[in-house]
Amino acid sequence: MGPFFIGIDGGGTRTRAVVAQEDLVPLGRGASGPANAATRPLPRVVESVREAASDALAAANLEDIPPETVVVGLAGIDSIRDRQPLLSALEAVFERSRVLLTSDAQIALSGAAPGRVDAPAVVVIAGTGAIAFGQGEGGATARAGGFGPLLSDEGGGYAIAREGLVAVVREIDGRGPPTAIKDLLFSTGGVSSLPELLERIYRSEGGAADVAAYFPVVLAAARGGDAEARRILAEAGRDLALDVVTVVRKLGLESVSFPVATIGGVFAAGAFVTNPLVEAIRQVAPLARVGPAPFPPEMGAIRLALATGRKFS
């Protein structure tokens, strides 16, 4: 068997891994828990990466053969001043392989277009958090958003879920309109009362991922016709569009035809999010093509390894 690679996408909620050769045909996939480098302790990040990679290798029946290169793209990595301790820990796990450590946005961008990895493109990732990252002609790159749930990440699953929970609290408190989010939360959301919800939110160690877990409740309410839930999702779409058009303007792509790849669980909301997203983007970049990425981020990681000639520092 020829050389093979592992691509790993570590996010705020889960980590995904894929094993493939140069033909990019998946040989095995794996998954594990969150691996946000900015919000999770280093040992937990490394364990999530190791577990996802091990599952993928087992699925490919390649546990005893080292991959040529392991590319790890992590959410939150740009917030870390010194990546070396994390890189060293990953190199100890994959001691017989080259290891490239980069951001989840970078590997997502590498899967955003079906052709050249270096072609103009923008990716908008909306999972637990949210970020837009793009590249223009000549390889220039730019980003917007993605600075964590307290200061940024509007349009992500955390922000949507938080707004949904705020709507519930306002209704209960008499400060807001009735919303089906409340009924669904207390019937199917895993909590039965406001005190229980407050205890889970304020005493949890899971952070943003625990709040983002209530995103499906907001989505279910929107699908049922709830006006508050639909307003929240539409606002998320506009927030994500602002990230994208900010990147477009930074790169001078307003008159260029390029893909805007949508990645992440928030896009399970479909038209509730994508309609306002597309409308706002096309006001600035009418030639942009908005839609799902042709390659998932973990496969984008392998494309990145191939495009850079497997030479990493």
* Alpha-helical runs (H) found in 70-193: 84-93, 104-110, 157-173, 180-188
pLDDT tens readout for residues 227-252: 999 999 999 999 999 999 999 999 99
Q: Give the residue-averaged pLDDT of 100-116.
A: 91
Q: Which of 231, 234, 223, 226 lies closest to 182, judged by CA? A: 226
Q: Give the residue-averaged pLDDT of 298-305.
A: 95
Pairing of the two strands 15-20 and 5-10:
antiparallel
Q: Given pLDDT bands bounded at 50, 70 and 90, which one contains residue 309?
A: low
Q: Given pLDDT bands bounded at 50, 70 and 90, which one contains residue 137?
A: confident
Q: Where are the beta strands (DSSP E) in 44-127?
A: 69-74, 98-103, 121-126
pTM above threshold 0.75: yes
Q: Residue 5: helix, strand or coil by DSSP?
A: strand
pLDDT tens readout for residues 71-107: 999 998 988 888 999 999 999 999 999 999 999 999 9
Q: Residue 272: helix, strand or coil by DSSP?
A: helix
Per-residue pLDDT, 117: 87
Q: Which of 40, 246, 58 lies closest to 152, judged by CA? A: 246
- Residues with Cβ within 8 Å of residue 88, at least 6 apart in sequence: none
Dihedral (CA of 302, 68, 17, 101) sign: negative
Phi, psi of 48 (to 5 degrees): -65, -40
Taking 90 as the threshold, does the pLDDT of residue 19 lie above it? yes
- Residues with Cβ within 8 Å of residue 221, at least 6 apart in sequence: 164, 179, 180, 181, 184, 228, 229
For the chain, give every residue range classified as CATH 3.30.420.40: 5-110+296-307, 115-292
Per-residue pLDDT, 307: 86
- Residues with Cβ within 8 Å of residue 207, at least 6 apart in sequence: 39, 149
Q: Which residues pair with 290 in a beta bridge?
A: 260
- Residues with Cβ within 8 Å of residue 268, at least 6 apart in sequence: 219
Q: Give the residue-averaged pLDDT of 273-290.
A: 98
Per-residue pLDDT, 12: 84
What is d(CA 129, CA 22) in angstroms, rounded to the nearest whole number?
31
Number of Cβ within 10 Å of residue 159's Cβ equals 26
CATH class (in words) of the domain with range 5-110+296-307: alpha beta
Q: Given pLDDT bands bounded at 50, 70 and 90, which one contains residue 170?
A: very high
Pick the CATH number of 115-292 from 3.30.420.40, 1.10.510.10, 3.40.50.2300, 3.90.1260.10: 3.30.420.40
